[in-house]
């Protein structure tokens, strides 16, 4: 069965622009979570969506937002990009029933802000 698919794999954007990243979860998985990975801060939780509703969010500014569609595919958006937003953005899919007992990650989108 197909894994988690993230597009695009690489992005280069200029400060002040906005960007949209996409994640298609494993078929049958209804929960999609997003993480930011940087060398300094490690892996940090951004937010989680289940059945088109955000159920949980981490400590990131409002410039970071997301949504989920009825087919469970999810997008995250970052507006007014800053240099510090350069990171690997990972999404994870899971069944979504209660706490996470198994989560599968995509290959990530490498965002570079110049």
Partner 1 sequence: GNSVTQMEGPVTLSEEAFLTINCTYTATGYPSLFWYVQYPGEGLQLLLKATKADDKGSNKGFEATYRKETTSFHLEKGSVQVSDSAVYFCALSEGMGGGTSYGKLTFGQGTILTVHP
C-beta of 50 vs 64, nearer to partner 1? 50
Min dist CB 103 to partner 1, Å, is: 6
> Could you tell me if 66 and 79 are in contact, meaning their C-beta atoms sit under 8 angstroms apart?
no
Contact flag: residue 74 with partner 1 (CB under 8 A): no
> Could you tell me if 34 and 89 are in contact, meaning their C-beta atoms sit under 8 angstroms apart?
yes
Question: Which of 15, 24, 6 minimizes the C-alpha distance to 78?
Answer: 15
The phi, psi pair for 91, rounded to 5°, reads -115, 150
Q: From the list 24, 25, 26, 48, which residue makes contact with partner 1 (rule: CB under 8 A)?
A: 48
Q: What angle do CA 68, 54, 32 make, to 5 degrees?
A: 55
Min dist CB 98 to partner 1, Å, is: 3
Contact flag: residue 67 with partner 1 (CB under 8 A): no
Q: From the list 24, 31, 68, 72, which residue makes contact with partner 1 (rule: CB under 8 A)?
A: 31
Contact flag: residue 64 with partner 1 (CB under 8 A): no
Sign of the Cα pseudo-torsion (6, 60, 40, 79, in order): positive
* Residues forming the site for partner 1 (CB under 8 A): 4, 6, 31-33, 35, 42-43, 45, 48-50, 55-56, 58, 90, 92, 94, 96, 98-108
């Amino acid at each position: 069965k197909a894994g988690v698919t993230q597009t695009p794999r690489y992005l280069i954007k200029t400060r002040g622009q906005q960007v949209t990243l996409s994640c298609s979860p494993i078929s049958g998985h209804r929960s999609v979570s997003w993480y930011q990975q940087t060398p300094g801060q490690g892996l940090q939780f951004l937010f989680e969506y289940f059945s088109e509703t955000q159920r949980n969010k981490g400590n990131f500014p409002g410039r970071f937002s997301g949504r989920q569609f009825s087919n469970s595919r999810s997008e995250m958006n970052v507006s007014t990009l800053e240099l510090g937003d350069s990171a690997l953005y990972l999404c994870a899919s899971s069944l979504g029933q209660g706490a996470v007992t198994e989560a599968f990650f995509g290959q990530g989108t490498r965002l570079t802000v110049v």
